[in-house]
Amino acid sequence: MPQTPEPFDLSSYIPYRLAVAAERTSAALARRYREEFGISVAEWRVLVHVSDAGAVSIRDIHQRVHLEKSKVSRAASRLEEAGYLIKEVNGQDRRLLALRLTDKGQDLMAQLLPIAQAFQTQLKQLLDSQLEAFDSALQVLMEDDL
């Protein structure tokens, strides 16, 4: 019996499908604001959290938005250099930073958020009846031990 190296169908392999779908989705979103605003995905996540939560530390962002702390640090530095946010030292604990949006940063978010919302709406329409199951599947993959 020849040991056929049992064919493996990558295109039905969940980690692969997930990676491709995520990459396409991120790329589609990035297209919508990278060229116009020069914002990367990492910077986008930092902006969202700072915009939402006010004065946050690098560590806060790291924990909340699933980014390496060095990635957060560098994204924040780029955003600071671009004038979208400022870094202050936290008075309570001087190891911590307190990141805040500048006016320019708030203007930026006022432009970015509608784009992001529209994309979310588009995706929801696309997924339609599968949305609910899709979402709870993602929840499992985001939280369970793998």
Partner DNA sequence: CAGTATTCGTTGCACTTGCAACGGTGTCAA
Partner DNA sequence: TTGACACCGTTGCAAGTGCAACGAATACTG
The set of residues, in sequence order, having a beta carbon less than 8 Å from that of 72 and lying 6+ positions away, is 42, 46, 58, 61, 62, 65
Is the Cβ of residue 99 or residue 112 nearer to DNA in the bound state?
99
| Residue 42 binds: one of a copy of itself, DNA, none (C-beta under 5 to 8 A by kind) | DNA
Instruction: Select from 44, 45, 62, 84 the one that contacts DNA (CB under 7 A).
Output: 62
List the beta bridge partners of residue 97. 89
Examine residue 96 and tell whether it contacts DNA (CB under 7 A): yes
In whole angstroms, what is the distance from residue 74 CA to residue 68 CA? Answer: 10
In whole angstroms, what is the distance from residue 85 CA to residue 83 CA? Answer: 6
How many residues interact with DNA (rule CB under 7 A)?
25
| Residue 104 binds: one of a copy of itself, DNA, none (C-beta under 5 to 8 A by kind) | none
Which of these segments, 7-15, 87-95, 104-112, 123-131, binds DNA (CB under 7 A)? 87-95
Q: Is 102 exposed, middle or buried (0-12, 13-18, 19+ CB in 10 A)?
A: middle
N residues, the chain: 146
| Residue 146 binds: one of a copy of itself, DNA, none (C-beta under 5 to 8 A by kind) | a copy of itself
Applying CB under 8 A, the residues found at the interface with a copy of itself are 5-10, 13-26, 28-29, 41, 45, 48-49, 51-52, 64-66, 106, 109-110, 113, 116-117, 119-120, 122-124, 126-127, 129-142, 144, 146
Task: Find the shortest distance in angstroms from Cβ 79 to DNA.
Answer: 11
In whole angstroms, what is the distance from residue 29 CA to residue 10 CA? Answer: 25
